[in-house]
A = this chain, B = another copy of it.
Amino acid sequence: MTLSVAPGKQQAKSLRARDLICDATIDLLVCKGYSDTSLNQVAATAGFSKGALQHHYPSKEDLIAATLNKLLARPFQPGRGKPASVDEALLQAWNKYINTPAYRALFEILNAARTDELLQTRIAAELLEWGRALDAQSLAQYAAVSGDDEEAVMLLNMTRSFLRGLLIQERYGSDGVKHLEYVKKWIALVAPLLTLRESSE
């Protein structure tokens, strides 16, 4: 008993608690949306009391910002499938990255920040940095056949816009199957303008 355990035991517990809380937040964001994600429900879902949540994240903004950071830190390509073509790479991005609960949650936060001034300013820096990282990532993987790097970035950004727009439409319009059709159609349009860079790693 007297042997002092690893000095980070409490810290580890804290980190784990925060992680669980963020996970609960993500779940609620996905199925309830931002405005219906209350701190009470987050606490209940995560299995903590309101006070515990209060301790870890003093305000809702803090909670959302932390959750956002967790979502943004998600690796871009979990499956290292090494796509052989642009078409395949873009389709993978849709299946493995965009069309996922995690991206829905991220989407909810972005969507909420659009009209919530405080949240907007709170996370603006992270989002800008994220945007830059995405552009860099795009350029690292793809190149425009025209050789114009800016065009490659534009095309990828347009792709993301399109996919985002698809996510919104989801529940009142077409279904998932129709979406996949649309995604493939778009890829067929864009892919001829892009090439895969030789991965230097």
Binding site for B on A (CB under 8 A): 31-36, 110-116, 120, 123-124, 127-128, 131, 154-155, 157-158, 160-166, 168-173, 181-182, 185-186, 189-190
Identify A172's interface contact among B113, B181, B182, B186, CB under 8 A: B113
Closest residue of chain B to A172 (Cβ to Cβ) is: B127
Q: Which residues of B contact A115 (CB under 8 A)?
A: 31-33, 36
Are A182's CB and B157's CB within 8 A?
A: yes
* This chain: copies in complex: 2
Q: Are A120 and B182 in contact (CB under 8 A)?
A: no
A155 to B182, CA, bound (A): 9
- A157→B163 CA distance, assembly (Å): 12
Query: Is the beta-carbon distance between B131 and A158 smaller than 8 angstroms?
Result: no
Measured CB to CB, the closest approach of chain B to A86, in angstroms, equals 15
Residue of B35, B114, B172, B189 touching A170 (CB-CB under 8 A): B114
Name the distance in Å between A189's Cβ and chain B's nearest Cβ.
6
